[in-house]
Amino acid sequence: MQALVFTECGEPDVLHLGDVPEPHAKPGQVRIAVRAASVNAFDWKVRAGLVHGMPKAFPAVPGLDAAGVVDEVGDGVSGVAPGDRVFGLGSRTFARHAVLGMFARIPDRMTFEEAGALGVVVETAARSLDLLTLPAGATLLVDGAAGGVGTALTQFAVARGLRVIGTASPRHHDHLRRLGATPTTYDTGLAERVAALAPEGVDGAIDVVGKGSVPALVGITGDPARVVTVADFGAGPLGVHVADSSLGRATYALAEAARLFEEGRFAVVLDRVVPLADGAAAHRLAQGGHVYGKVVVTVP
């Protein structure tokens, strides 16, 4: 089957269309005819050779999430049948077919492009938010609120009744307001700006960027136990929560995002949608580090 492949690590141009064997659904999985998949940071980091021991073999196919139409159902899977529209998490999703191990139905009014953007970011957002167990009315600082994980996290937090202050480049501030957050920039003086926006204090903070802001977030909240990072895996010794996926997956997050979307309380933000053949351009854009929402590839 056709897939986006790379046979060596390097710049986005190592990506090209190729032919790989079709996957099949194992127990607990479904296989889909992929209609859309999104670029996640892990994809371009593996492609660039930045993740030790990855990829495990060549030709490698990027992609951790996708949306499409079920065409195989593995043993032990119930409630899903061939022909159903689903989205979720899997592997090697930049291809005509992919298997998903975590999936949910796509709401009627959600497009494949929107659904294909959601898997990784909504699961990560819910998993990191759950580490703080903040009550409704609490104030949350999201550092990096305009990216893929940040837009999902901001909307989950607002839906749970939290007041969200989000950092982003100024060009993304109106976008953050539309998601229900109060925006500020992420350059020097963050503590002073946040203190002016939330004189009563900040109850929790989540680093979604991994560029060294964790000590500042500990200072702002006054307690490392009130800080989570999804991207700074060396920050554990500071006493903060590191939202590693080895903690277990927030499997409910897919259905929660679908429900909130149906209720008009969760918008899927797509920065760019390109065909699979332009996968290199999609990687280049995501790797630039200033995407608003998600970059999606479509599989015709």
Ligand X SMILES: NC(=O)c1ccc[n+]([C@@H]2O[C@H](COP(=O)([O-])OP(=O)(O)OC[C@H]3O[C@@H](n4cnc5c(N)ncnc54)[C@H](OP(=O)(O)O)[C@@H]3O)[C@@H](O)[C@H]2O)c1
- Nearest approach, Cβ of 293 to ligand X (angstroms)? 7
Q: Which is nearer to ligand X, 143 or 203 (CB)?
A: 143
Q: Which is nearer to ligand X, 18 or 101 (CB)?
A: 101
146 binds ligand X (CB under 6 A): yes
Closest residue by beta carbon to ligand X: 147
- Which of 5, 37, 41, 179 forms a contact with ligand X (CB under 6 A)? 41
172 binds ligand X (CB under 6 A): yes
44 binds ligand X (CB under 6 A): no
CB distance 236 to 218 below 8 Å: no
Amino acid identity for residue 89 in this structure: L
* Number of residues forming the site for ligand X (CB under 6 A): 30
CA geometry: angle 11, 276, 271, nearest 5 deg: 80
Q: Which is nearer to ligand X, 70 or 231 (CB)?
A: 231
CA 279 to chain CA centroid, Å, is 18
DSSP 79: S
* Helix residue ranges per DSSP H, 86-223: 112-116, 119-130, 148-159, 173-179, 190-197, 214-221
CA geometry: angle 130, 108, 257, nearest 5 deg: 5
38 binds ligand X (CB under 6 A): no
Q: Which of 65, 131, 125 is nearest to 98 (CA)?
A: 65
- Which of 82, 178, 211, 223 forms a contact with ligand X (CB under 6 A)? 211
Judged by the rule CB under 6 A, the positions of this chain that interact with ligand X are: 40-42, 120, 124, 143-144, 146-150, 167-169, 172, 186, 208-211, 230-231, 243-245, 286, 289-291
